[in-house]
Amino acid sequence: MNNTFNYQNNELFCEGVNLSAIANKIGTPTYVYSKMGMLESYREFENAFSPLNKMVCYSVKANSNISVIKLFSDTGAGIDCNSRGELFRALKSGVNSSKIIFTGVGKTEEEIRYALENNVMMLKVESFQELETINRIANEMQLVAPIAIRLNPDVDAKTHPYISTGLAENKFGIDINEGQKAFQFATSLSNLKVVGVDMHIGSQITSPLPYVDAIKKLFSFINELSKIGISIDHCDIGGGFGIDYDEEKNIDISIFAKELLPLLQQFSGKIIFEPGRFLTANSGVLLTKVLYTKSNNKKDFVIVDSAMNDFIRPTLYNAQHEIKHLKQSDKNKVTVDLVGPVCESSDFIRKNYSLPICSQKDLLAIMSVGAYGFVMSSNYNSRRRAAEVLVDGNNFKIIRNRESFEDLINGEII
């Protein structure tokens, strides 16, 4: 976990800003991101794989705020978009479309046209029917579409089943055993230009070994392609590099690089990475306020104003996030369930968690929420979505206003 969040005089700071000052001025719940933390994570990733001819594409799905997209684009990163909405955000952020990869297992014809109209770097294709569809649309638009084919290497990433993407049972990619047939078919279509081969085996992967297995399979496949006269410009190994959450092993990207570089340097073309979580997760916190404390049948609860609609990872993945008091506490620790106000038993942040005794109006920080936090939030129970704030040194700015009650019914008609 990066060190951009630290206690100073018993107050939790993000860079040079007291988080209590943000909570008191903007209210809670509020997402707070560290610009320095995100840039440090990007540089760490870049440096780890510096020997390679590479392109690092920030995966927008991790955190799609346009200020965050621009932050990475300004560093020179490419951008990985998975929908027309994400592509729209990237373009509005000022990203050069030639550095945008357009992905997705179920692209609509509208999305394909939008991507081609905006001259994206390439579209990643995941089925034979999608190859036919893109070729037809490109023909209608009188252009040649640059595409890469995503293969499913059938490798177990040893991660949560909901975020595993490289097994044969997953919906993603074309079975690697059908890969040669897919490339031959693609090269036979006059309005497609095949430029790469791709994979993505999962998310929050904490060991390099699944990558090693998958890359070996992918490079063996590339060698077989060359034997039938099909050459490619790039190999995309995807993202999914894990980060340090509470009670998980310490993860060092240099360990991944040590294992992967000898393999990746065998490829003469460009290597593409698509990190998302690694670049943003540990640079974000969710500020929340204690509403009530109570005990039921020997169970102690701390009820806060953040809920599953604000942050669904605990409910969806049983994710274990560290919780900190904004004012460093020397009170005795008690075991509690930290829960929200939503009308669901699954509305919790942590269960059976040891936390210094909480009182009403105490301010807490849910750590490591810079990825898959706000982007997965909703208006369930007609709750307004949170504000987002970016800290830069001693200053902070709102990069998304808290929704109003009028926003909740915008577009609805009686």
pLDDT in tens, 195-204: 999 998 887 8
Say if CB 51 and CB 364 are below 8 A apart. Answer: no
Give the residues across from 335 on adjacent strands: 354
* Helices within 307-357 (DSSP H only): 313-317
Q: Where in the sequence numbering do the catalytic residues fall? A: 343
Residues 336-383 have pLDDT tens digits of 999 999 999 999 999 999 999 999 999 999 999 999 999 999 999 999
Q: Measured over all CA atoms, what is the biggest interatomic distance in the chain, rounded to whole angstroms?
A: 71
Average pLDDT over residues 120-129: 96
Residues 223-274 have pLDDT tens digits of 999 999 999 999 999 998 988 886 555 578 999 999 999 999 999 999 999 9
Residue 163 has pLDDT above 50, yes or no: no
**What pLDDT sits at residue 232?**
92
**What pLDDT sits at residue 161?**
52
Residue 164 has pLDDT above 60, yes or no: no
Q: Among 63-67, 249-253, 313-317, whose mean pLDDT is lowest?
A: 249-253
CA 64 to CA 43: how far, in whole Å? 20
Q: Calculate what percentage of the chain has a pLDDT beyond 90.
A: 83
Can you give the pTM of this predicted structure?
0.94
CA 13 to CA 10: how far, in whole Å? 9
What is the secondary structure of 229-273 as a DSSP string?
T---SEEEEE--B----TTSPP--HHHHHHHHHHHHTT-SSEEEE
Domains of the chain: 5-33+281-409 (2.40.37.10), 103-275 (3.20.20.10)
Residues 235-247 have pLDDT tens digits of 999 998 988 886 5
Residue 208 has pLDDT above 50, yes or no: yes
Residue 78 has pLDDT above 80, yes or no: yes
Average pLDDT over residues 379-400: 98
For residue 321, what are its two tokens?
């996030």
CA 81 to CA 14: how far, in whole Å? 29
Confidence of residue 166 (pLDDT cuts 50, 70, 90): very low
Confidence of residue 210 (pLDDT cuts 50, 70, 90): confident
Q: Among 89-98, 151-160, 333-342, 398-407, whose mean pLDDT is lowest?
A: 151-160
